[in-house]
Structure 1
Amino acid sequence: MSNYQISVATFNKLARQYQDKYMQMPLYEPTYDQFSELLGERDRVLELACGPGNIARYLLARRPQLDYLGTDLAPQMVSLARENNPTAQFEVMDCMAIDSLSQMFDAIVCGFCLPYLDKHEAKALIEAMAKRLKPGGLLYLSTMEGDYAASKLQTSSSGDQAFIYYHCGERLTHILNMAGFELQSCHRQDYPERGDVDLFIIARRR
């Protein structure tokens, strides 16, 4: 089983616990607010690795007429997202299969998907997202920032595992620029519980 598959299996198993912990996340809400203010009322939005629909619910509460498609590789996450956001559409899909979509989007949300992708996969995903965004389209991207060499398989007290990759903000900014994005904002937030730094980027496709 690959590192990615290990992480997805854990998220599928612990979907409801993840929902209970992260459905309300005031620490991240300022970044959601900033992103939602840039959206049009009826924009077509794609979310990758949507989890239980926590970001979707926040955005749809402020922009209820968004044409929203959320995707996640964990079926239990998709099931919860549908329960939490009955007006949106959710499908089981690997984020790396974004090229299989034919439609173009006004915005893409990719919240904390990159911590489960290695640096090569992260670069490929950013480039693929650029191809699915309309000119002027928005990207919301968040990840755990740190030394890539510190990436490792982490095991919880209950024995559940996930492989966590840390990504460098400067490298991500360079990849975004090369993929045709202009940076709109870059925000770092300490996460005391983990002892990590979370990175939030909003960019617009040129």
Structure 2
Amino acid sequence: MDTCQVSVNTFDRLAETYAQKYLALNTYDTYYREFCSHVPRHGATVLDVACGPGNVSAFLMRERPDLQVLGIDLSPNMVQLAQNHVSTASFLVQDCRQLVELGRVFDGIAYAFGLNYLNQEDAEQFFRSLSKILAPNGVLYLSAMLGPRERPGLQTSSSGDQIYVHYRSRQEIEHLVQSARLEIVFSEEIGSPANASKPIIDMVLVARRIGT
């Protein structure tokens, strides 16, 4: 079973509801701004991975209108919402597990909470792909929900909608980042937003690619 696709199907059905709940959220703006401060000026390219309805892309275009932003998501409805919401960025339906297919290199990559919907094999594949799509000295923004790996992955709502959530510890996430030859330059743990479905601890980090 492709557990990632199961989650994508649910997000696709609930795209409008998700957008209404999270598009106006500003909890992470400080961290997006930290990411922006490390991205080169004057026309740098940024990939917004698992962009959802365009939360991160919208902030990037407000904060840094000089950026060229491409957002990707496997949910067609999310991509349509993002394009409607952020007309100055570009969006594609694309699997984050197949980033090399984009055939492009980016100065920055933002990956906000998508990692929690990848199993370990897919997560490792994502980080391996960074050597091909993230420019030397390029910057990664990553946010993820923390938790023990043994926490049950399948979550079912009262309406029967299902998603698979893969939790990792801070140490496990840092290992994945460092395995991709990325140096962590900023890292912080914070409480989840007040409107989150359940209270949890989030991790936010910014890392820079080292070497060629």
Q: Does the alignment pair 1:185 with 2:189?
A: no
Q: Distance in 1 between matches of 2:98 and 2:175?
A: 23
TM-score of the two chains, using structure 2 as the length reference: 0.93
Corresponding position of 1:13 = 13
Quote the offset at 1:99 in angstroms. 1.4
Q: Does the alignment pair 1:201 with 2:205?
A: yes
Q: Deviations over 1:172-196 (max 9, x none)?
A: 2122222110001111111264121
Structure 2: runs of 5+ lacking an equivalent: none
Relative to structure 2, which stretch is displaced further, 49-58 or 162-171? Answer: 162-171
**SS, match of residue 123 in structure 1:** helix
Counterpart residue identity of residue 157, structure 1: S
**SS, match of residue 150 in structure 1:** coil
After TM superposition, the structure 1 = structure 2 runs for residues 69-88 of structure 1, keeping only pairs within 5 Å, are 69-88=70-89
Quote the offset at 1:159 in angstroms. 1.4
Relative to structure 2, which stretch is displaced further, 20-29 or 83-92? Answer: 20-29
TM-score of the two chains, using structure 1 as the length reference: 0.95
Q: Distance in 2 between matches of 1:19 and 1:46?
A: 20
| Divergent runs of 4+, >3 A | none
Residues 130, 180 of structure 2: 8 Å contact kept: no
Q: Does the alignment pair 1:95 with 2:99?
A: no
Corresponding position of 1:48 = 49
Structure 1: runs of 5+ lacking an equivalent: none
Q: Deviations over 1:95-133 (max 9, x none)?
A: 011011221110011111011001221122112123211
Aligned residues: 206
Q: Deviations over 1:72-108 (max 9, x none)?
A: 0000000000001111110000001101122111001
After TM superposition, the structure 1 = structure 2 runs for residues 139-154 of structure 1, keeping only pairs within 5 Å, are 139-154=140-155
Corresponding position of 1:25 = 25
**SS, match of residue 77 in structure 1:** helix
**SS, match of residue 59 in structure 1:** helix
Q: Distance in 2 between matches of 1:27 and 1:130?
A: 30
Counterpart residue identity of residue 117, structure 2: Y
Q: Distance in 1 between matches of 2:8 and 2:202?
A: 20
Q: Deviations over 1:120-177 (max 9, x none)?
A: 2112211212321111000001111110110421111221110111012112212222
Residues 145, 166 of structure 1: 8 Å contact kept: yes
Percent sequence identity over matched residues?
37
Relative to structure 2, which stretch is displaced further, 165-174 or 140-149? Answer: 165-174
Q: Does the alignment pair 1:134 with 2:135?
A: yes
